[in-house]
Amino acid sequence: MTSKEQTYETVYKEIESVIDGETNETSVLANVAALLHERFAERFFWTGFYLVCDGELQLGPFQGPVACMHIQKGRGVCGTAWAEEKSIIVPDVEAFPGHIACSAHSRSEIVVPLFNSNKEVVGEIDIDSKYLNAFDEVDRLYLEKIAQLLTRTLYRTE
């Protein structure tokens, strides 16, 4: 196992323990953003959530610099991941058509949708790095696992 996988294994267990029994969306997402941001402090420059609200993505709990507060479906990396209902890894944000630049320091990005248990997108995990090509399939795998944990914790529809 690589050190990145080991860190994700540790973070996953920390998240499970911190959010166990919690039901407040803001509190849970704020601590998940904090844990991820702190454990990957070297690589993660902006770590947070966008949530579907009033037909658009609105800024949720995050760690990092001020970010844009409204993103329309199909716009930027976040809006595209929502429209396509799948995770997107962007190795070089300048090469992604329509990328929304919240900070000039962001060079690469990963966006992972959050689904409710009816498989509807309710939000997203969004992470930016100052480094080009900072995210790979290991990030996708573990962030999707964390997203599934959030579905079970916060977004059950039954």
Using CB under 6 A as the binding rule, whether residue 51 contacts ligand SME is answered as no
Using CB under 6 A as the binding rule, whether residue 71 contacts ligand SME is answered as yes
Q: Considering Cα of 23, then 25, then 26, then 27, what sign does the dihedral take? A: positive
The residue with its CB nearest to ligand SME is: 76
Using CB under 6 A as the binding rule, whether residue 128 contacts ligand SME is answered as yes
Using CB under 6 A as the binding rule, whether residue 45 contacts ligand SME is answered as no
Q: How far is the CB of 147 from ligand SME (least distance, A)?
A: 17
What is the total count of residues that contact ligand SME (CB under 6 A)? 14
Which of 93, 153, 96 has the alpha carbon at shortest distance from 123?
A: 153
- Of 10-18, 27-35, 70-78, 140-148, the window that binds ligand SME (rule: CB under 6 A) is 70-78
Q: Residue 23, SS3?
A: coil
Query: DSSP characters for 64-127?
Result: SS---SEE-TTSHHHHHHHHHTS-EEES-GGGSTT---S-TT--EEEEEEEE-TTS-EEEEEEE
Q: How far is the CB of 157 from ligand SME (least distance, A)?
A: 26
Using CB under 6 A as the binding rule, whether residue 100 contacts ligand SME is answered as yes
Which of 121, 81, 128 has the alpha carbon at shortest distance from 104?
A: 128
Q: Which residues bind ligand SME (CB under 6 A)?
A: 46, 67-68, 71, 76-78, 99-100, 102, 106, 109, 126, 128
